[in-house]
Amino acid sequence: MFDKKLLNMDLYRITVVLLVTGMVNALNLTSNNQQSEIANLKQEVNDLTASVRNLTFVLNHMQAEFQITLNKRQSVAFSACLGSSGRTLGPHQPVEFDSVLLNDGGAYDSRHGIFRAPVTGVYHFSLTFLSSPPGATYIEIVKDGNQLVYTYAAGDSHNVGATQVNIRLEAGQDVWCRNAYTSGTTNLHPQGKYSCFTGHIIS
């Protein structure tokens, strides 16, 4: 004989089993999803950590380069004069100020009278000289062979010429003084340190 109570109990048991099984499956699925998400998060953290390391390396390198540039800027200055002998300069001949009083940064070459900018920046240059008769003396300050400024001293006696200039230079550009005449000679006083060329970085 069909027992309705037993059937209801079996249905109840089946329902409970199905519900429990569904819950277990749902928990397993959730756990798998969470594990997958955790794995993705770990990978993202690893990627971010690598990026931070790379950025730190780049930043440290930039700081080191900046410090080197800053040190160079703080120590670029020179002052040089003619020695005990004077100069008779041919057309566009450079003035070789060979008696060096200061050369911080080593940017001035006394063998050729040329200053080469070690870093990009604004520089100040000044020139003072004493002429030697006969004939007027014209001296110019040039950048890479192009005139920046020039000055003149009459040749009737020993006269003083002077000029100065602020100029922006790129690293590697040259500045020097030379006879402004494209033909003919000019004379500088042969005794004492009357003729001097100086320069330094401003910013």
Per-residue pLDDT of the chain (203 residues; tens, 9 = 90+): 556 666 566 666 667 666 666 666 666 666 667 777 777 777 876 777 777 788 778 877 777 776 666 655 568 999 999 986 667 899 999 999 999 999 999 999 999 999 999 999 999 999 999 988 888 899 999 999 999 999 989 878 889 999 999 999 999 999 999 999 888 888 888 777 899 999 999 98
Do 182 and 110 reside in the same domain of the chain? yes
Spatial strand order of the sheet with 99-104 comes to 99-104, 77-81, 196-201, 121-130, 160-169
Give the residues across from 81 on adjacent strands.
99, 196
Q: Are residues 150 and 84 in the same domain?
A: yes
C-beta of residue 98 within 8 angstroms of C-beta of residue 82: yes
Which residue type is seen at 5?
A: K
Q: For residue 80, what pLDDT is reported? A: 96
* 168, 196: one domain: yes
Query: pLDDT value at position 123?
Result: 98
Q: What letter represents residue 122's amino acid?
A: V
189 and 171 belong to one structural domain: yes
Range of the domain at 17: 1-74
Q: From 118, 97, 95, select the one nearest 169 (Cα to Cα).
A: 118
Which pLDDT score, from 0 to 100, does residue 27 have? 60
Same structural domain, 143 and 173: yes
In the chain, how many domains are there?
Answer: 2
Q: pTM for the full model?
A: 0.66
Residue ending a domain, among 74, 91, 111, is 74
Tokens encoding 59: 């930043």
CATH number (domain holding residue 105)? 2.60.120.40
Which of 53, 74, 95 lies at the terminal end of a domain, its last residue?
74
One domain for residues 112 and 183:
yes
One domain for residues 83 and 64? no
Same domain assignment for residues 112 and 148: yes
Among the three residues 13, 44, 74, which one is the final residue of a domain in this structure? 74
> What is the predicted pLDDT for the residue at 119?
95
